[in-house]
Amino acid sequence: MEHDQGSLLDEKALAQAATDPAARVEALRREIEHNSYLYYALDAPVLSDAAFDSLMRELRELEAAHPELIDPSSPTQRVGGYVGEQFAPVRHAQRMYSLDNAMDLDELDAWMQRVVDDFGHFPPMDCELKIDGSSIALTYEDGVLTRAATRGDGTTGEDVTANMRTVKDVPLRLRPEALGAVVDPTRPLELRGEVYLSKASFERLNLAAEANGKAPFANPRNAAAGSLRQKDPTITRGRELSTFMYAIAEDDALRVPGQAELLAWLREAGFHVNPDVALCESAEEVRAFCERALEQRESLPYEIDGVVVKVNAFAQQQALGFTARAPRWAIAFKFPPEEKTTLLRDITVQVGRTGALTPVAELAPVVVAGSTVARATLHNLDEVHRKDVRVGDTVVVRKAGDVIPEVLGPVLSLRPDDAAPWSMPDVCPSCGSPVIREEGEVAFRCISIDCPAQAQERLLHWASRGALDIDGMGEEIVSRLVEVGRLTDVADYYSLDEAELSLLDMGRVNKEGAPIRLGATIAAKLVAAIEASRTRPFARVLFGLGIRHVGKTIAEALAGAFPSIDALAAATEEELAAVEGIGPKIARSVYVFLRVPENVAVIDRLRRAGVTLADEATGEERPQTLAGLTFVLTGSLSGMTRDEAGAALKALGAKVAGSVSKKTSYVVAGEAAGSKYDKAVALGVPVLDEAQLARILETGEPPAPEE
């Protein structure tokens, strides 16, 4: 095939376009697909970007002139389709499994030994990098992409076809050269892999988030999953997602004998396949691959969190089979959490909404597990002393659970001579009032009622998702409103008006030197969000008030026993303490809070603003069919949030606990279930998937015991 840049735009071609546009359109599509294959699958582009774009332009123009020729699998049709409010559920024809983990080389050896014991010899194993993204299943019918679905709970995922079509390395049609190996081309062919964000795209995305005052993504994996679940495919397109494909749902749907051969076929079919693979003949080779991958980790343009080792031959895979959760023929060798050293520039003190002072490590920014870390909580003074970290130290940093940055300790040999032990300031860094430490408490506190830092934290807490959920009311806007004196307490939210908000000076100037204002669009959204917050249930309001020791669960227990603020305010300390889950300390805190005149005044103003301060009589209650059962929820559910699932279970009389014990009746495991799942298995607690949970909520019946 010729690839000189002008060849497709010469006169002959233009003549063809005029006389037989259908043939020309088809020729252009083939040419574009072929060049995508060279670019993505083989990583060996021949055309320049400009020439490629010119082909696309011609195709687009021809399709515009002949709309009858438009076809959903045309390369011009990568964006289209509307995603409804909810992504439609997709039941996977074959379960999408998770992988068992080997946390170190010894565990990896033990797994390999078990396989060797089974077969009596070392079966060839395919080693691949474990891409840190989100799993995806792509279905092709007659060679054309018809559906893309997330893993979900493994049984049911979400339909993300419109979004995956925007991912440039996903072929909309399989290359005809590869179709020969498909056993029955009329049957849907489901291929699987990982959709991910490169480190560079991730960084760009987070910089943009920061510039727009949004919270950054914790890691590329979350960013990829979030990008995939956008309601608007044009947003997904802008996120620059990529894929690496590596699996097939039914391995007998293709005439290939094993994993290595499958990867070669996937590449032939036009998919992006990771080149870093090895077919290993011995345990030493597998170990060497893992060690090499660990060394390469940093220099790769995308995040990996381990190596996946797979018994290569499909026949041998079938002989080994699956457990309930994962294949027996594969294991994920997980890298240890990445640790970095950096300079501890300072230890600052943050004042929380209850006045607790928290020391925070201010670090020289360093990239750990995919994102930049510049701050990490040091929790309290005892912790600072236990870790013995001092300003000026070089410290070791990692991300707990790959998300929360954590300072492990100092590198003592690098400590400067003048580094002194750190101590808490005597006065609050925000308001200058004296700091106290109560008997038996770890935390130091500022107890001034006028402390602006506390006020700001209380205001943010009120607006937070678990409380009144005022969407968009973030730190920057709240702190501006506090600074200009428009927000002092939570009742002030309900007197903000749209015109005033839109003119709010954000304390920054634009290129021309004019002050940046909040603007009408955001102001309108905020006012709508404030309006919506008025109808949140009483328990959320109670939680939002930020009474010391009253977290979400306690607020729910209190609202259950005293369904209005008046009933609660009328209760004695003893009556409060009689509620299950409420001890004397909490009872005292609630009792006192509701008698502080300033608080009573705020509550009165909230009442006048129409905020829910009493639950409607619930009328008919659902029968408490789950009474006596305790559920633990883990992982993310696709159809609802964990909070919603918990509330629905409670409405049926169940208890919902935060950790797994022998008393747990059921663990509901969503996607990416973690240690709670493992604990459930270890304790023999039955594990339910999301579909089973849905059935329970629908019928109100506990699950039938397994045979």
Contact residues toward ligand AMP (CB under 6 A) are 98-99, 128, 130-131, 135, 194, 246, 308, 332, 672
Separation between Cα atoms, residue 155 and residue 698, nearest integer Å? 18
Residues 6 or more apart from 170 whose CB is under 8 A from it? Answer: 138, 145, 148, 164, 243, 271
Nearest Cα residue to 309 out of 574, 94, 124: 124
- 432 neighbors 426 (Cβ within 8 angstroms): no
- 608 neighbors 632 (Cβ within 8 angstroms): no
Compare residues 71 and 100 and give the one whose CB is closer to ligand AMP: 100
User: In the complex, what is the shortest distance from the CB of residue 681 to ligand AMP, in angstroms, rounded to a whole number?
Assistant: 14
- 161 neighbors 80 (Cβ within 8 angstroms): no
User: In the complex, what is the shortest distance from the CB of residue 159 to ligand AMP, in angstroms, rounded to a whole number?
Assistant: 18
Exposure letters 373-398 (e unless 16+ CB within 10 A, then b): beebebbbbeebeebebbbbbbbbbb
Compare residues 39 and 333 and give the one whose CB is closer to ligand AMP: 333
User: In the complex, what is the shortest distance from the CB of residue 228 to ligand AMP, in angstroms, rounded to a whole number?
Assistant: 12
User: In the complex, what is the shortest distance from the CB of residue 323 to ligand AMP, in angstroms, rounded to a whole number?
Assistant: 12
Compare residues 393 and 689 and give the one whose CB is closer to ligand AMP: 689
Residues 6 or more apart from 217 whose CB is under 8 A from it? Answer: 202, 205, 206, 209, 223, 226, 371
User: In the complex, what is the shortest distance from the CB of residue 247 to ligand AMP, in angstroms, rounded to a whole number?
Assistant: 6
User: In the complex, what is the shortest distance from the CB of residue 128 to ligand AMP, in angstroms, rounded to a whole number?
Assistant: 4
Residue nearest to ligand AMP (CB): 135
- Locate tokens 């943009």: which residue? 208
Residue 313, classed as helix, strand or coil, is strand
Q: Is 525 a catalytic residue?
A: no
Compare residues 399 and 461 and give the one whose CB is closer to ligand AMP: 399
Residue 23, classed as helix, strand or coil, is helix
* Interhelix angle 220-228/199-211, nearest 10 degrees: 80
User: In the complex, what is the shortest distance from the CB of residue 158 to ligand AMP, in angstroms, rounded to a whole number?
Assistant: 15
Residue 687, classed as helix, strand or coil, is strand
Exposure letters 626-652 (e unless 16+ CB within 10 A, then b): beebbbbbbbebbbbeeeebbebbbeb
In three-state form (DSSP H/G/I as H, E/B as E, the rest C), the secondary structure along 161-183 is HHHHCCCCCCCCECCHHHHCCEC
Separation between Cα atoms, residue 190 and residue 147, nearest integer Å? 9
Q: Which residues pair with 438 in a beta bridge?
A: none
Question: Is the alpha carbon torsion for 107, 110, 116, 122 positive or negative?
Answer: positive
Q: How many CB atoms lie within 10 A of CB 367?
A: 14
- Enumerate the H helices of 120-198 as residue ranges: 161-164, 176-179
The encoded tokens of residue 235 equal 């947003």
Q: Of residues 12, 130, 585, 650, which has the active-site annotation?
A: 130
Q: How many CB atoms lie within 10 A of CB 578?
A: 12
Exposure letters 418-451 (e unless 16+ CB within 10 A, then b): eeeebebeeebebbebebeeeeeeebbbbebeeb
User: In the complex, what is the shortest distance from the CB of residue 670 to ligand AMP, in angstroms, rounded to a whole number?
Assistant: 12
Compare residues 51 and 137 and give the one whose CB is closer to ligand AMP: 137
Compare residues 246 and 562 and give the one whose CB is closer to ligand AMP: 246
Helices and strands of the chain, counted as H and E runs: 26, 24
User: In the complex, what is the shortest distance from the CB of residue 216 to ligand AMP, in angstroms, rounded to a whole number?
Assistant: 22
Question: Catalytic amino acids?
Answer: 130
